[in-house]
Amino acid sequence: MKAMDAGTLTEPREGLHARPHIEVEVQQQSERQLPSRDVVFSIRDLSVYYGGFKAVRNVSLDIFQNQITALIGPSGCGKTTMIRCLNRMNDLIENARVDGEVLYHGVNLYDKRVDAVEVRRRIGMVFQRPNPFPKSIYDNITFGPKIAGFKGNMDELVEQSLQKAALWDEVKDRLKESAWSLSGGQQQRLCIARCVAVQPDVILMDEPCSALDPIATARVEDLMQDLKSEYSIVIVTHNMQQAARVSEMTAFFTAEVQEDQDRRTGVLVEYDKTEQIFTNPSDERTENYVTGRFG
């Protein structure tokens, strides 16, 4: 920790006190109750633009280690945009531009010196639709470690990863078969195993169950509980029950009409313990959403 980035960190950061003061009342309320855990991401005044269109406005929140953090909200509220900022997946979208900071263990991910590829190695992602490579199950797992220069026993790593993803027993006899022969739920767990294989620190999940049936969904949710002891997990979901079931912390986003634009911009309404969000939200909009009156 010798060369802390003086450019991006103007003051030493202690827990939650160094936030910009955008949504003051929300934060004050939260700070009273938030657990004192290590922070993985500290998002500061983050805005995202696609060309001239502002997709997300001034978001600030902290994401904690070894917890599941859920991002919820109606469609178009910018939750997917948000999560894709956390491993610089938005770099791949043309015209995408980011204002503000995403501090990952104190380092701004959008610092010029940071390599997006290295970021994604440490911060893995699982996508909406299962997207295994059109290769064998085995090769799906080994691709990431190989390019990262993994030198250890590959067979062991494959077994470990598949076991962590609770898929080993189902596929151990057919590792050479095409990943596309698996069912949707299995494919998604393979994608999780593939992600785990590069030994990331954080796993981002963008609506990982939206293409799965209820049984497969339940398995993935169980898996998330197993994984959180080792990894920090951020999940985007449009399914409120899922957020309530799996997460410790929940951030509720909504889409706001901007005066100067005809499209809607995502804003963070409230960020708190999941229990709090679903039982005693402090913002009326959150309450309307979680009680199903809107969205």
Sheet containing strand 232-236, edge to edge, reads 107-108, 96-104, 39-50, 53-64, 264-273, 249-257, 68-72, 232-236, 202-206, 123-126
**Binding another protein by CB under 8 A: which of 143, 166, 211, 221?**
143
Segment 1-30, which members bind another protein (CB under 8 A)? 1-5, 13
Cβ of residue 51: shortest distance to another protein, in angstroms? 10
Helix 137-147 and helix 184-197, axial crossing angle in degrees, nearest 10: 20
| 248 versus 256: smaller Cβ distance to another protein | 248
Q: Could you tell me if residue 97 is left (phi over 0), alpha (psi between -120 and 50 degrees) or otherwise beta?
A: beta
**Binding another protein by CB under 8 A: which of 55, 68, 89, 212?**
89
What is the distance between the alpha carbons of residues 100 and 86, in angstroms, rounded to a whole number?
12
Which of the stretches 54-62, 117-125, 222-230, 244-252 binds another protein when contact is defined by CB under 8 A? 117-125
How many residues would you count in the chain?
Answer: 295
| 92 versus 215: smaller Cβ distance to another protein | 92
| 29 versus 65: smaller Cβ distance to another protein | 65
| 127 versus 168: smaller Cβ distance to another protein | 127
Q: Going by DSSP bridges, is the β-strand pair 107-108/202-206 parallel, antiparallel, or unpaired?
A: unpaired
Cβ of residue 286: shortest distance to another protein, in angstroms? 30
Three-state secondary structure call for residue 91: helix
Does position 94 interact with another protein (CB under 8 A)? The reply is: yes
Cβ of residue 114: shortest distance to another protein, in angstroms? 5
Place of tokens 């998002």: 43
Does position 87 interact with another protein (CB under 8 A)? The reply is: yes
Query: What H or E segment, with its residue span, contains residue 169?
Result: helix 168-171
For residue 116, the tally of other CB atoms under 10 A from its CB is: 15
| Cβ pair 155, 143 in contact under 8 A | no
What is the distance between the alpha carbons of residues 126 and 191, in angstroms, rounded to a whole number?
6
Cβ of residue 88: shortest distance to another protein, in angstroms? 9
Does position 147 interact with another protein (CB under 8 A)? The reply is: yes
**Binding another protein by CB under 8 A: which of 25, 118, 177, 213?**
118
Which of the stretches 55-63, 70-78, 102-110, 152-160 binds another protein when contact is defined by CB under 8 A? 102-110
Beta bridge partners of 250: 70, 272
Binding site for another protein (CB under 8 A): 1-5, 13, 38-39, 65, 87, 89, 92, 94-95, 104-107, 109, 111, 113-115, 117-122, 124-127, 129, 131-134, 143-144, 147-149, 191, 194-195, 197-198, 201
